[in-house]
Structure 1
Amino acid sequence: MKVSFHGHSVVQVQTNDKTILIDPFISGNEACDLDANTVKADVILLTHGHNDHVGDTIEIAKRNGSLVVAPNELAVYLGFKGLNTHPMHIGGAHEFDFGKVKYTQAFHGSSFTEEDNTIVYTGMPGGILLTIDGKTIYHVGDTGLFTDLKMIGDMNDIDIAFVPIGDNFTMGPEDALIAADWIKAKVVVPVHYNTFPVIKQDPEVFASKVRTGEGKVMAIGDTIEL
């Protein structure tokens, strides 16, 4: 299984027979190296409804016939847009043909802003535990620091965690270091930074300070094999 990072919070997981995209914010994301018009996706996993995470989901899913897995209200909203969706919710898990998905809590907001500036409520935000062939990826999603991250780390053997460090909208680097201690992933990758001026951070400094597991900065397009 190959796991690659593509800017902001965009993560791609490639198995033997499936391509999975998490939070495919591609168009309008100068940090992303993917092309929304050509990228393949059998499955799209969404943490929450903000535009910089839903991104190009509708266009990609329609072109590829992708299954979209999302928190319930977001899944219902995208279903109204004609997508094939599977709704889930915090604490729930489901075995798919590509692996097991479990949603964890995240402390953040969740809404989608339409082109006419209408704001659509899209339910609770979440983090995603994705387990495939005995390996677990934790996309923490957009969140502030909360103590149940320790419980999540105690309950799961996490191989790689994608942790936001940008501050302002999510955890900053100091809180993210505490989160990394609690999650206890073997590899900790910073995400959700430098896309906008207000979330500018130095990921190398963060990675060098990770105390539990290996802090690793993934450049755009970098891949890790699990």
Structure 2
Amino acid sequence: MNISYHGHSVVKVEVEGKTILIDPFLTGNSLTDLSAQTEQADAILLTHGHNDHVGDTVALAAKNNATVVAPVEAADYLSKQGVENAVPLGLGGTFDLGYAKLKYVQAFHSSSYTDDAGVVHYMGVAGGILLFVNGLTIYHAGDTALFGDLELIGRRHPIDVAFLPIGGHFTMDAEDAAYAVSLLKPKIVVPVHYDTFPPIKADPNHFAELVKDAKVQVLAPGGSVEI
């Protein structure tokens, strides 16, 4: 199994010959090393419906006949855009891909999508994703503020690898993300959602210095988690 980071909030998990993409914002993402024209995906998981997380979902799903798991309203919208295998999931809901299982958990954030005509579509409640694969628990927090029930998430499902936003402005910043680590208690944490746009410029090494409760791995786009 390989778990890798690809700029902004893009995470890839490769297992048993299958590829899972989380929040595949590729086109327009100056930090990613992936291309929507060449990337493969068997499953696409979305934490919420903002454009910088939905990204290339429709094109990737069409090209790869991928299963897309998304919050209920986001899945409904994507179905109307031509995604044939859209699975709607609510907070607390679980889904079995066959080679991995996942659960949606709470996040504190908004969720909407602006189409090419400038129309804003409501995309449901934002969430985080717990991914259970090969005996490991991977947590992608999506976009979120700091909140107390992160402790419950970590206690309910002990986390091996956590991907946490640190960019501030739209999500928690490095200081709050470091406190989130103390609540979640993952073995490994990877900072995400920073430096893509000027408002979310952040120093991941500062975040690493603040974390006392886990091993921090600062990854360049294309870098893999060392477990």
Q: Which residue of 2 aligns with 1:78?
A: 78
Structure 2 Cα separation of the partners of residues 17 and 71 of structure 1: 26
Q: Tell whether 2:108 aligns with 1:107.
A: yes
Structure 1 Cα separation of the partners of residues 226 and 149 of structure 2: 28
Aligned AA (1:53): H
User: 1:5·1:12 contact (CA, 8 Å) conserved in 2?
Assistant: yes
Deviations 1:40-59 (A, max 9, x none): 00000000000000000001
Q: CA RMSD in A?
A: 0.8
Comparing 27-36 with 94-103, which one deviates more in the overlay?
Answer: 94-103
Give % identity. 54
Q: Which residue of 2 aligns with 1:218?
A: 219
Aligned AA (1:109): S
Q: Which residue of 2 aligns with 1:54?
A: 54
Aligned AA (1:103): Y
Structure 1 Cα separation of the partners of residues 93 and 140 of structure 2: 15
Structure 2 Cα separation of the partners of residues 47 and 69 of structure 1: 9
Q: How many residues align?
A: 226
Q: Which residue of 2 aligns with 1:44?
A: 44
Q: Which residue of 2 aligns with 1:163?
A: 164
Q: Which residue of 1 aligns with 2:205?
A: 204
Comparing 75-84 with 49-58, which one deviates more in the overlay?
Answer: 75-84
Aligned AA (1:54): V
Aligned AA (2:121): V
Matched position secondary structure for 1:223: coil
Structure 2 Cα separation of the partners of residues 210 and 127 of structure 1: 21
Aligned AA (1:108): H
Aligned AA (2:63): R
User: 1:209·1:215 contact (CA, 8 Å) conserved in 2?
Assistant: no
Deviations 1:60-93 (A, max 9, x none): 1101110000011000111111211111010111
Structure 2 Cα separation of the partners of residues 95 and 114 of structure 1: 30
**TM-score normalised over the length of structure 1:** 0.98
Structure 2 Cα separation of the partners of residues 50 and 183 of structure 1: 25
Matched position secondary structure for 1:193: coil
Query: What's the CA shift for 1:96?
Result: 2.2
**TM-score normalised over the length of structure 2:** 0.98
List runs of 5+ in structure 2 lacking aligned partners. none
Structure 2 Cα separation of the partners of residues 95 and 195 of structure 1: 32
Aligned AA (1:88): L
Q: Which residue of 2 aligns with 1:88?
A: 89
User: 2:112·2:124 contact (CA, 8 Å) conserved in 1?
Assistant: yes
Query: What's the CA shift for 1:98?
Result: 2.0
Q: Tell whether 2:102 aligns with 1:135.
A: no
Q: Which residue of 2 aligns with 1:7?
A: 7
User: 1:189·1:207 contact (CA, 8 Å) conserved in 2?
Assistant: no
Q: Which residue of 1 aligns with 2:33?
A: 33
Structure 1 Cα separation of the partners of residues 101 and 222 of structure 2: 25
User: 2:154·2:186 contact (CA, 8 Å) conserved in 1?
Assistant: yes
Structure 1 Cα separation of the partners of residues 188 and 211 of structure 2: 10
Aligned AA (1:223): S
Structure 2 Cα separation of the partners of residues 163 and 152 of structure 1: 14
